[in-house]
């Protein structure tokens, strides 16, 4: 058991990195001591705001710091697998934001390296931690609710390459490997049953971004539950992902950390966990697993099946 303060390096000081910094402020015995960002001046500003002493534009500078115990990667998708391997090879525990990789081969390499090193390696599948989805999960585990269908909409308005703060992005986001990963993993996790059938169709490829802007995915679990997922970068309306759980004893609608019934009555999820912030809860699990020397919820092993499904869907779409 670790009793000392866990010293953390965080890479990716963008929209999502700051969400982690805000969450970590509420967690005892954890300190972010190094911040990595693409633009040095911007990163220094953020570091100053959060009281972080070490700043760099290179992850390897942080990995050289002997006092760093763990790393959180909030960098572009295309860098995740390589950086997560670098962290484990440097002897650091790692939490990599979703997705852990954008290919099955890279995802497999992280599972293999974790086994070899025995380090905590976790993926930011935040939906497992949002109080709304945890509430539904507890109902399922107690036998009070079983999913018949999940109906999910992942909608953004992103016809140019912008991040969550409306700033130009240095990388291209991906509906399948990033946004669908949330729902594919959550569906299998909530159904408590592996995905046995998956279909996908996509709209035209964007001429400059080189990705499909619209996609539709159907999933079926071994226990018979089904899931329909609609994804779009063209939707000019409420942004984000909205989950409708249609079950045998009721209907729930989850919007990030909040939960409603099918009739739009708010469900109180404030007692589900110690916080109402899914990112903070995800980080708490990461640090607890390090301190307790155990496998975390959303470990690379636990979410690997999701990446197999994404790989199969990609093969389908490419065919």
The per-residue pLDDT for range 11-37, each reduced to its tens digit, is 999 889 999 999 999 999 999 999 999
Band (pLDDT 50/70/90 cuts) for residue 1 is low
Calpha distance 295→288 (Å, rounded): 10
* DSSP E strand boundaries for the chain: 6-11, 30-36, 54-56, 70-73, 93-97, 121-124, 147-155, 195-202, 214-221, 226-232, 240-247, 251-255, 258-261, 266-267
Global pTM reads 0.94
Band (pLDDT 50/70/90 cuts) for residue 210 is confident
pLDDT, residue 167, reads 65
Calpha distance 154→284 (Å, rounded): 26
Full 3-state SS string of 30-47 = EEEEEEECCCHHHHHHHH
The answer to whether 59 touches 11, Cβ cutoff 8 Å, is yes
Cis ω before 99 (30° cut-off from 0): yes
pLDDT, residue 238, reads 87
The answer to whether 124 touches 101, Cβ cutoff 8 Å, is no
User: Which one-letter DSSP state was computed for residue 181?
Assistant: H
pLDDT, residue 174, reads 80
Calpha distance 168→174 (Å, rounded): 15
pLDDT at 161 over 80: no
Residue located via tokens 């249609």: 246
Those residues with Cβ within 8 angstroms of residue 19's Cβ, 6 or more apart along the chain or in another chain:
279
Those residues with Cβ within 8 angstroms of residue 270's Cβ, 6 or more apart along the chain or in another chain:
131, 276
Say what percent of the chain tops pLDDT 90: 87
pLDDT, residue 52, reads 98
Residue located via tokens 């960098």: 75
Say what percent of the chain tops pLDDT 70: 95
Q: Is 169 exposed, middle or buried (0-12, 13-18, 19+ CB in 10 A)?
A: middle
């Amino acid at each position: 058991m670790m009793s000392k303060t866990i010293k953390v390096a965080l890479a990716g000081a963008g929209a999502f990195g700051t969400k982690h910094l805000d969450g970590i402020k509420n967690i005892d015995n954890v300190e972010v001591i190094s911040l990595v960002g693409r633009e040095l001046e911007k990163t220094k500003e953020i570091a100053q705001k959060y009281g972080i002493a070490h700043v760099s534009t290179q992850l390897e500078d942080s990995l050289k710091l002997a006092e760093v115990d763990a790393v959180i990667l909030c960098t572009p998708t295309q860098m995740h697998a390589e950086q997560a391997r670098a962290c484990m090879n440097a002897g650091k525990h790692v939490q990599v934001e979703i997705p852990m990789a954008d290919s099955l081969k890279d995802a497999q390499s992280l599972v293999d390296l974790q086994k070899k090193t025995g380090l905590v390696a976790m993926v930011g599948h935040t939906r497992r931690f949002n109080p709304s989805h945890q509430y539904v999960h507890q109902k399922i585990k107690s036998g009070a609710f079983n999913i018949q269908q999940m109906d999910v909409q992942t909608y953004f308005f992103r016809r140019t390459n912008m991040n969550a703060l409306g700033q130009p992005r240095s990388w291209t986001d991906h509906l399948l490997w990033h946004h669908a990963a949330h729902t594919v993993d959550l569906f299998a996790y909530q159904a408590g049953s592996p995905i046995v059938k998956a279909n996908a169709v996509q709209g035209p490829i964007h001429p400059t971004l080189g990705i499909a802007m619209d996609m539709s995915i159907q999933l079926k679990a071994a226990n018979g539950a089904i899931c329909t997922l609609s994804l779009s970068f063209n939707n000019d309306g409420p942004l984000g992902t909205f989950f409708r759980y249609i079950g045998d004893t009721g209907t729930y609608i989850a919007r990030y950390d909040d939960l409603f019934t099918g009739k739009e009555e708010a469900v109180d999820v404030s007692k589900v966990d110690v916080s109402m912030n899914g990112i903070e809860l995800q980080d708490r699990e990461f640090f607890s697993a390090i301190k307790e020397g155990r496998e975390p919820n959303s470990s690379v092993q636990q979410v690997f099946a999701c990446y197999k499904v994404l790989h199969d869907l990609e093969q389908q779409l490419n065919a």
